[in-house]
Amino acid sequence: MGTGLFLQAQEQPWILWDWLFTHVSRFTDALQQHIQLTLVAVALALVISIPLGVAAHRWRAVRNPAYVVFGIFYTIPSIALFALLIPYTGLSATTAEIGLVGYAVLIILRNVVVGLDSVPPDVVDAADGMGYRPIARLLRVELPLALPAIFAGVRIATVTTIGLVTITAVIGLGGLGQLILQGLVDNFRTPLVVATVLSIALAFVADLFLFGVQRLALPWSRGV
Amino acid sequence: MAAIESLIKWFADPSHWSGPDGIPTRLLEHIQISAESVAIGALIALPIGIVLGHYGRMGNLAINLSNVGRALPSFGILVIAFQIFGLGDLPIILSLTALAIPPMVTNSYVGLREVDPDIKDAARGMGYRALAQLLRVELPLAIPLVMAGIRTSAVQVVATATLAALIAGGGFGRYIIDGLAQFDYSKLFAGAVLVALLALATEVSLAGLERLLTPPGIRLVKVAAASRATTFKTA
């Protein structure tokens, strides 16, 4: 980056409102891609982590390997993971989703296990005494009691994923991250600042929305 | 297979092991910038988390801080810091420090908060003054979670430091960003492997330190701190 460009940046306003108002569609498109990448990641992570969490709660032989495998995966920085996947899945949404789903699985999985572990043994005994078969006991007694913890995991996973999606800009996706990258490459502050703020706002709105859903759908989780 | 072959060739090339773009230099850059950020972050975050946890004050703030940290897109924060401070280490260290603080505050708060009130009563009954009680009773019991917070932060800082290459920073991220820009896939691949290994090494060594620092008396506590620590991922 030349010095001339950099000096010019010093005088640049943080937001050029005129430009912003004529380019609203770029932000809505990016926001839409951002939401889409997040929704797919969290939904797939739920589909994987609930059965896996149930199995991990039952059997230690499943729990430890699952924690180790997803723990190692979670430790790998996303940008490194995307780079490692490029030869196999290319610069595609698949590459992004493999990473995003894997990270979200660890977060939700841990909460599923914690939620199921914290069901009081007396409650399980009572359910057995009332004649519940194992599957019915799981679906109608244990999982409902574990749902508040699972929901907390979904909220953390959603907020985390919204933040991580911006990094997929380096593999040509990115949602709002695209506009951050554009701000960097063109040395143009408006898309950079607006996209960063929108990403933070999206995370808060999603968290608040899920909190609201939790209050309505799981009235027994109030105060947890 | 071809990818692995080119990777081996890349690592076998002696020119990749010396000079300003060599692996040793990039490793040192990466470690230095990460260690500085975690150290500054710890100096700010740990006293806050420990004091809030000790007094049981502002728990919502201490816990929600991690959620605020998760919501911050590290990429955007780095680029904005770059726009404010220009080239150099300052914007990188400031951004990484900001991302390092939340998990350390939350986990040290929870660690101190979870100390059994009966134990605090017993300590007071034995004549411990407030400060001695905090330093010699509560803090040792909270060590697993305090250390888990430091570990979580450190791993995320190492990961996020990779993105610093996007704003002309050093470290292993250089190989990934330059590899992508030059369509040099063996460089890209090598960078990814090095970054992943460094993150894993950070995790493993700090987990070892956590075990060493945990007082022997509470090592057998059933639930490992690792599974109670707040998850945090920014990059």
Residue-averaged pLDDT of chain A: 92
In a domain, A21, yes or no: no
3-state helix, strand, coil in chain B (%, to 5): 80, 0, 20
Of A41, A66, A39, the residue nearest A51 (C-alpha): A66
Of A90-104, A206-220, B215-229, least confident by mean pLDDT is B215-229
pLDDT over 90 at B83, yes or no: yes
Q: CA B205 to CA B211: how far, in whole Å?
A: 10
Interface contact B196-A84, CB threshold 8 A: yes
Query: Which residues in chain A are contacts of B88 at CB distance < 8 A?
Result: none
In a domain, A119, yes or no: yes
10 Å CB burial of residue A168 (0-12, 13-18, 19+) is: buried
In a domain, A224, yes or no: no
Interface contact B185-A170, CB threshold 8 A: no
Question: Could you tell me if residue A131 is left (phi over 0), alpha (psi between -120 and 50 degrees) or otherwise beta?
Answer: left
Best of B5, B7, B75 to substitute, by most chain A Cβ atoms within 10 angstroms, is: B75
In a domain, A165, yes or no: yes
Contact A196/A54 with Cβ under 8 angstroms? Answer: no
**What tokens were used for A125?**
């005994």
pLDDT over 90 at B57, yes or no: no
Which position has the higher pLDDT, B220 or A207?
Answer: A207
DSSP code at position B231: P
pLDDT digits (tens, 9 = 90+) for A36-87: 999 999 999 999 999 999 999 999 999 999 999 999 999 999 999 999 998 8
- For position A26, what pLDDT does the model report? 94
pLDDT over 70 at B222, yes or no: no
- For position A218, what pLDDT does the model report? 84
- For position A133, what pLDDT does the model report? 93
Contact B71/B130 with Cβ under 8 angstroms? Answer: no
Nearest CA in chain B to A107: B231
Nearest CA in chain A to B190: A84
* Angle, vertex CA B145, rays to CA B141 and CA B151, nearest 5: 135
Interface contact A167-B191, CB threshold 8 A: no
Interface contact A160-B196, CB threshold 8 A: no
Average pLDDT for residues B141-158, to the nearest whole number?
94
Interface contact B83-A192, CB threshold 8 A: yes
10 Å CB burial of residue A79 (0-12, 13-18, 19+) is: buried
CATH number, position A94: 1.10.3720.10
pLDDT over 60 at A1, yes or no: no
Query: Which residues in chain A are contacts of B3 at CB distance < 8 A?
Result: 87
Q: How confident is the model at residue B218 (pLDDT cuts 50, 70, 90)?
A: confident
Q: How confident is the model at residue B219 (pLDDT cuts 50, 70, 90)?
A: confident
A residues 30..59 contacting B (CB < 8 A)? none
A residues 2..31 contacting B (CB < 8 A)? 6, 9
Q: Which residues of B121-139 are buried (b: 16+ CB within 10 A; e: fewer)?
A: eebeeeebeeeebbeebbb
In a domain, A112, yes or no: yes
pLDDT over 50 at A3, yes or no: no
In a domain, A128, yes or no: yes
**What tokens were used for B63?**
């816990």
Number of domains in chain A: 1
Interface contact A75-B199, CB threshold 8 A: yes
Interface contact A204-B155, CB threshold 8 A: no
Q: Which residues of A49-65 are buried (b: 16+ CB within 10 A; e: fewer)?
A: bbebbbebbeeeebbee
Nearest CA in chain A to B6: A87
Q: Which domain holds residue A59?
A: 27-218
Name which of A110, A163, A184 is nearest B227 (Cβ-Cβ): A110
Contact A202/A166 with Cβ under 8 angstroms? Answer: no
In order of their start, the domains of chain B are 2-228 (1.10.3720.10)
Interface contact A160-B233, CB threshold 8 A: yes
pLDDT over 80 at A6, yes or no: no
A residues 146..205 contacting B (CB < 8 A)? 156, 159-160, 162-164, 166-167, 169-170, 176-177, 180-181, 183-184, 189, 192-193, 195-196, 199-200, 203-204
pLDDT over 50 at A2, yes or no: no
Nearest CA in chain A to B193: A80
User: Would you list the DSSP string of B55-123?
Assistant: HT--HHHHHHHHHHHHHS-HHHHHHHHHHHH-SSHHHHHHHHHHHHHHHHHHHHHHHHHTS-HHHHHHH
pLDDT digits (tens, 9 = 90+) for A159-212: 999 999 999 999 999 999 999 999 999 999 999 999 999 999 999 999 999 999
In a domain, A167, yes or no: yes
Backbone angles phi, psi at A6, to 5 degrees: -65, -40
Q: CA B160 to CA B202: how far, in whole Å?
A: 13
In a domain, A85, yes or no: yes
DSSP code at position B230: P
Q: CA B214 to CA B144: how far, in whole Å?
A: 6
Interface contact A159-B67, CB threshold 8 A: yes
Q: How confident is the model at residue B211 (pLDDT cuts 50, 70, 90)?
A: confident
